[in-house]
Chain A
Amino acid sequence: DTAVSQTPKYLVTQMGNDKSIKCEQNLGHDTMYWYKQDSKKFLKIMFSYNNKELIINETVPNRFSPKSPDKAHLNLHINSLELGDSAVYFCASSHPGGMNTGELFFGEGSRLTVL
């Protein structure tokens, strides 16, 4: 029943490691996103994909690499993790353009802690 699901929910790792977060949506949406929420609760967009094509790529270090194998999945891989990468990462999706309501459907978030 879960509309947008992310795994893992919690991730604790050492600096310098590489980690991935997976996201899947079963809403039939064409557009998916990654947002980062830092300790001050600021929500910032990182990437957006529309039907597997990269649409938005904000000023994010190239250690972050999104991958969309199909329009229902958007994964995030992070290389050489740094302390400042500690945050909650939210995956989200939205309706296709023709029926666009603009609403973002968020996953539960993945809390990444870098030690």
Chain B
Amino acid sequence: GENVEQHPSTLSVQEGDSAVIKCTYSDSASNYFPWYKQELGKRPQLIIDIRSNVGEKKDQRIAVTLNKTAKHFSLHITETQPEDSAVYFCAASRLMIGNEKLTFGTGTRLTIIP
């Protein structure tokens, strides 16, 4: 089955600086790579995703890059703000009809220092 590793487990950055979280996956058939943000005491929510036919995707201050050959993908947050503080999860799956088994990474606790 799929195995997703995520680093670092904790990350502290100064407000306004950039944050980068990296993940690797094991299943070369995986074709969908979302990132979820979970604020304290809340549910995980999708913030950005990328499919295997794309190398990079950007949405305002958030970007994700994918290297299929190396089987790794990364989340980049620029101009960090206090509200970016949360736990971030990467995930990987084979998108299939009726069976989207997302395997999550172990999470990164991001703290933005004002």
Report whether A90 and B44 are in contact in the complex, using a CB–CB cutoff of 8 Å.
yes
Q: Are B102 and A45 in contact (CB under 8 A)?
A: yes
Please report B residues at the A interface, Cβ cutoff 8 Å: 32, 34, 36, 38, 42-46, 49, 87, 89, 93, 95-104, 106-107, 109
B73 vs chain A, min Cβ distance (A)? 14
CB <8 Å contact, B99 and A48 = yes
- A34 an interface residue at 8 Å Cβ cutoff? no
Task: Give the top 5 A-B pairs by smallest Cβ distance, nearest first.
Answer: A97-B97, A50-B98, A106-B43, A43-B104, A102-B32
Nearest Cβ distance between residue B56 and chain A, in whole angstroms?
A: 18
Contact: B102 with A42, CB < 8 Å?
no
Contacts of B104 in A (CB 8 A): 42-44
The distance in angstroms between the C-alpha atoms of A45 and B49, with both chains bound, is 19
Name A's B-contacting residues (CB within 8 A).
30-31, 40-45, 48, 50-51, 55-56, 90, 94, 96-98, 100, 102-104, 106-109
How far, in whole Å, are A31 and B46 apart by their CA atoms in the complex? 17
30 A-B residue pairs with Cβ-Cβ distance under 8 Å, sorted by A, are A31-B98, A31-B99, A41-B38, A41-B87, A41-B106, A42-B106, A43-B89, A43-B104, A43-B107, A48-B99, A48-B100, A48-B101, A50-B99, A51-B98, A55-B98, A90-B43, A94-B100, A96-B97, A96-B98, A97-B98, A102-B32, A102-B34, A102-B93, A102-B95, A103-B49, A104-B36, A104-B44, A106-B45, A108-B42, A109-B43
